[in-house]
Amino acid sequence: MTIPKISLDCLVATMQKATQDDPSKFAVETMTNMSVEQPHLMLAVQQTVAMFMGEGDEDAGEFVPAEDDMVSADFAKEMICMSTFCILGIAMKAVAATIEAAELSEQWGE
């Protein structure tokens, strides 16, 4: 089984509900719930966000910006977009792999 296709009606209803409140409240609730319900996925999200924020390990050769580094608005927008789709891609692939593993386990009776 593949990941179920999300209907437009479901997506619109979810977006409307999620945007009724302040986005920061929705974000905090999402982070809190994910920390409890999906701790491994939340850790992957945190690490990916940290990577895009430049919170790397200088000793390991990772990018660590200086405190006063400034970037253009276009570059910042590009990084926000890229990080969003990287995180979405990681989550979707993890869900697909989890579904596939469960199906294989069921087929093999494990």
Instruction: Look at residue 1 and tell me if it is in a domain.
Output: no
Instruction: Look at residue 3 and tell me if it is in a domain.
Output: no
Cα radius of gyration (the chain): 18
Sequence-distant (6+) residues with CB within 8 A of 90 are 44, 45, 48
**Domain of residue 24, residue span:** 8-107
- Structurally, the chain folds into a number of domains equal to 1
Rounded CA separation 31/45 (Å):
10
Residue 47's nearest CA partner among 97, 3, 91 is: 91
Q: Per-residue pLDDT tens for 50-66? A: 888 876 665 665 555 66
Rounded CA separation 52/74 (Å):
15
Least confident of 20-34, 54-68, 79-93: 54-68
Rounded CA separation 95/4 (Å):
11
Is residue 62 a contact partner of residue 27, using CB atoms and an 8 Å limit?
no
Q: Per-residue pLDDT tens for 32-56? A: 999 999 999 999 999 888 888 876 6
Instruction: Look at residue 74 and tell me if it is in a domain.
Output: yes
Instruction: Look at residue 75 and tell me if it is in a domain.
Output: yes
Report the pLDDT value the prediction gives residue 97, as an integer from 0 to 100.
92
| pTM > 0.85 | no
Instruction: Look at residue 57 and tell me if it is in a domain.
Output: yes
Instruction: Look at residue 82 and tell me if it is in a domain.
Output: yes
Q: Is the pLDDT of residue 4 over 70?
A: yes
